[in-house]
Amino acid sequence: MSITIYHNPKCSKSRQTLELLKENGVTPTVIEYLKTPPTAEILKAILVQLGMAPRDLMRKKEAVYAELELDDPSLSDDDLIDFMVLHPILIERPIVLANGKAALGRPPEQVLDIL
């Protein structure tokens, strides 16, 4: 079983989720998404697996969200995805992928449902 975590080591929830996976015997592939952001295609697939719209996966309190005026309702889903690819800090974290499913580690225990 292949398990991947989109991880930010500076984020406490992301660190807690990674530790929880390891405590449950899982050694995931770790993608530090700030260094290696997902492509638009991968992000679209993750959104489908999460059952979320792009805006739902965005960190609205990040300065870049306000700077780029991403609260503009005229922006399309594709526009928002493009901004998340260009500015991965906008992507909520951590995201765990397993068994064709995805879960957001907020709270960290939520990812156990897809293992």
pTM attached to this predicted model: 0.95
CATH number for region 3-114 = 3.40.30.10
Cα 54 off chain centre by: 10
> Which position among 2, 7, 10, 11 bears the catalytic label?
11
pLDDT digits (tens, 9 = 90+) for 42-76: 999 999 999 999 999 999 999 999 999 999 999 99
CA 92/CA 89 separation, integer angstroms: 8
Q: Which residues contact residue 91 at a Cβ distance below 8 angstroms, ignoring those fewer than 6 apart?
A: 6, 33, 37, 38, 43, 57, 58, 59, 84
- Tens of pLDDT along 77-93? 999 999 999 999 999 99
Please state, in angstroms and rounded to a whole number, the distance separating the CA atoms of residues 16 and 55.
24
Domain chopping of the chain, boundaries: 3-114
Mark whether 11 is an active-site residue: yes
* Residue 1 predicted with pLDDT over 80: no
